[in-house]
Amino acid sequence: MKNFLNKLYDFSSSWTGTVVIVLFIIFFIAQAFVIPSGSMISTLRVGDMLFVKKFAYGIPTPRIPWIEVKVLPDFNGNGHLIEGDRPQRGDIVVFRYPHEEDKHFVKRCVAVGGDTIFLKDKELYIHPKEGNEYIKANYDASKIVEIGDKLWVVNPYKEAHPGIHNDPNVVDNGLQPRQFFDMFPITIPDDEYFMMGDNRDHSNDSRFWGTVPYKYIVGKPWFIYFSWNENYEIQWNRMFKSVETIEKSIKADDKIPNYKEGIY
């Protein structure tokens, strides 16, 4: 055993060993990710650098970082070397943009396969696949409305996730995308997920380009290891905190960031 440990130490101390260990961590455990846009303000901000938990939803088929070359074939046909749990409603998820796989997006999962959703005047309505009785048992009556023979939950995530908000400056004046305000009911395909940014009126998400199949799911944010703002000032109060901890610390004033024009 002592000889084995000595050899393991020597290997890990070598350049080859270091590369192998780093790649193993990136492939199977965690990968660094930088928040590139303001679509998740106030929960996640531009300049947040975080580790993504790669094993949260199974193990994605390994790819070499930066050049995005697959190390192994997609044996299971679902983008994962080892299949795992699926994203749940309300999870923040890191995934590959379905129309350009080398790009990573981070959004909140608002609906899973089998759910039906629609938007009316910026309000999100969801009919979970479990049906009316499930809704009655799991949601406050004040959030439930009845349309036809179905019960719908209105904005089910805002209380638990206070970073979710709308921009009062984005109004239905004919100049803004229709998807910000209204969307016809759609039923999410099996093993696919509807993603939206917490910064609802400045987010390029499933409202524009559709649902995200499981094969593109990468993982979930683990913790922020470094953060700085647009003036390159270090945000010490955000470092080494999980997303859950950040959400608990959000105050009312944090919900109204400095908005920028456009969608990102």
| Structure confidence by residue, pLDDT tens digits, 20-59 | 666 777 778 889 999 988 999 989 999 999 999 999 999 9
Integer Cα distance of 135 and 68 in angstroms? 41
pLDDT of residue 169: 92
Average pLDDT, rounded, for the chain: 89
* Residue partners of 215: CB distance under 8 A and separation at least 6: 74, 77, 78, 79, 80
Q: Is the pLDDT score of 256 beyond 80?
A: no
207, with CB counted inside 10 A (0-12, 13-18, 19+), is buried
Integer Cα distance of 234 and 163 in angstroms? 21
Q: Is the pLDDT score of 262 beyond 70?
A: no
* DSSP state letter for 234: B
State the average pLDDT over residues 208-234. Answer: 94
* Nearest CA-CA partner of 74 in 222, 220, 193, 213: 213
Q: Is the pLDDT score of 260 beyond 70?
A: no
Integer Cα distance of 82 and 36 in angstroms? 28
* Residue partners of 209: CB distance under 8 A and separation at least 6: 97, 98, 99
Per CATH, the number for 2-255 is 2.10.109.10
Q: Catalytic residues, which ones?
A: 39, 107
State the average pLDDT over residues 156-170. Answer: 93
Would you say the C-alpha torsion 56, 60, 63, 66 has a positive or negative sign? negative
The answer to which of 27-31, 84-88, 129-133 has the lowest mean pLDDT is 27-31
* Residue partners of 80: CB distance under 8 A and separation at least 6: 57, 58, 59, 60, 61, 214, 215, 217
First-to-last alpha carbon distance for the chain, in angstroms, is: 54
Share of the chain above pLDDT 90, in %: 72
pLDDT of residue 257: 52
CB 65 within 8 A of CB 94: no
Within 13 Å, how many C-alpha atoms sit on residue 220's CB side?
Answer: 18
pLDDT of residue 59: 94
